Amino acid sequence: MIAVTTHSQTRGLRYTMPMLLAGRLIERQLRDAPGCERYANVMVGPNEFWTLTIWRDAIDMQKCMRDGAHGRVTWQQPHWLECYWGMRWRPGDHTSGEWEGDALEWPESATGASDPDSGHRPLATMPSWMQAALGKSVMTEQRQLAGAAGATYRLRVPPWWIPSALRDLRRLRRTAAADPDSFRLSLGVGTGGALYLLVISTSGEGLDRLRSSSEHGRFLSRWGDRTWWSTWEPESEFGHWESQRLRDGQLADEPLLLDVTLPVRPTAAREARKTLRAGFDTLDTDTLEVLQLLTSELVVNSTQHAGLEPKDQIGLHVRARRDCIRVEVIERGRPFEPHVPLSKPPEDVSGWGLFVVNQMADRWGITRRSGKRHVWFELRTPVADAAR
């Protein structure tokens, strides 16, 4: 079971009617699409829209996206839109209520809870050698999104109850927006006249706080079987929401605390550790050691495997906010696709760099900007006032 949410903002009011018409045509296609469990096309304002579709499997979803009205609209929408964002999700651990009389409870296998490596399992039709390669490698995009979470609320009431329902949903939205880990929220009217609220958080803890709030409890208690809600875990992200992307990590836009240039030589990793020790000597010992270890692994990768010349340089950027710290190692090294094993035998003496980062960092990823590669990781740890 998978879900897809998209968010769109048009370039102006003249594209509102084309978007509404496109949404209607796609709804007709989804109504008869094999594998589509539920769908909603939500209007937030004259130039803001979002959608939710829930599918039994990815193959049915991909076929629908290529064919029919959806395939035709896809070619036109880029000319209409200021920004477009989408996320593919797998079911989270929490769902309740009913959607048109159906509880939509996910099978245990759909959540991935019974198999921690289920997100890495390739299709059964792949050759065995490809399964062996892909089934034991980290999906980098999922690591970039690790820890983020989403939730959707659906409420359908008679027209005379809509003002009261909107008031309660707005209270819920305010509670979610006040959370420090809130990323984006969107409330609107969708398919069939139902009300929909989309909540996206940079952490699962943010959604846990919303779920335990009095506003959430009162909302579900008051509206009973007229409402349905579910949590989601991210799988892949595309596009941007007003220039923001979850896959860039939480701290990509924070001010720099450290901006250091390292030489391409064997001593670079030692210099990086020394710089971190001097700049963050008020961190607790364990956190500082982890920070130094992961940074050292990335710097060693750059000096040994990036194809750099002695005249090149390696950049080291550090950012922090509240309970999170981010390190980026930057160089002009050759492009590569990381293949990070999910497990590693102790006797294997090489290739431990990204494996260690994947095991210990909360999030990590690789991006390219202005011809340079940025390999970054983020750790959730108390860092307030820790940097000199």
> In this predicted model, what pLDDT tens digit does every residue of 76-106 receive, in sequence order?
677 888 899 999 999 999 998 888 878 777 7
pLDDT tens column, 260-316:
998 888 888 899 999 998 888 888 888 889 999 999 988 888 887 767 777 888 899
Instruction: Provide the 10 A C-beta neighbour count for residue 376.
Output: 24
pLDDT tens column, 357-367:
888 889 998 88
Is the predicted pLDDT of residue 223 greater than 70, yes or no?
A: yes
User: For the domain bounded by 258-380, which CATH number is listed?
Assistant: 3.30.565.10
Name the one residue in this structure whose structure tokens are 């079971």: 1
Is the predicted pLDDT of residue 127 greater than 50, yes or no?
A: no
Name the residue ranges covered by the structural domains of the chain. Answer: 2-248, 258-380
pLDDT value for 322? 78
pLDDT tens column, 32-45:
889 899 999 999 99
When pLDDT is cut at 50, 70 and 90, the band that residue 129 belongs to is: very low
Greater pLDDT, 371 or 201: 201
pLDDT value for 133? 42
Report, as an integer, the average pLDDT of 135-163. 86
Contact 327, 377 (CB under 8 A): yes
Is the predicted pLDDT of residue 128 greater than 70, yes or no?
A: no
Provide the CATH topology of domain 2-248: Alpha-Beta Plaits (3.30.70)
Is the predicted pLDDT of residue 75 greater than 90, yes or no?
A: no
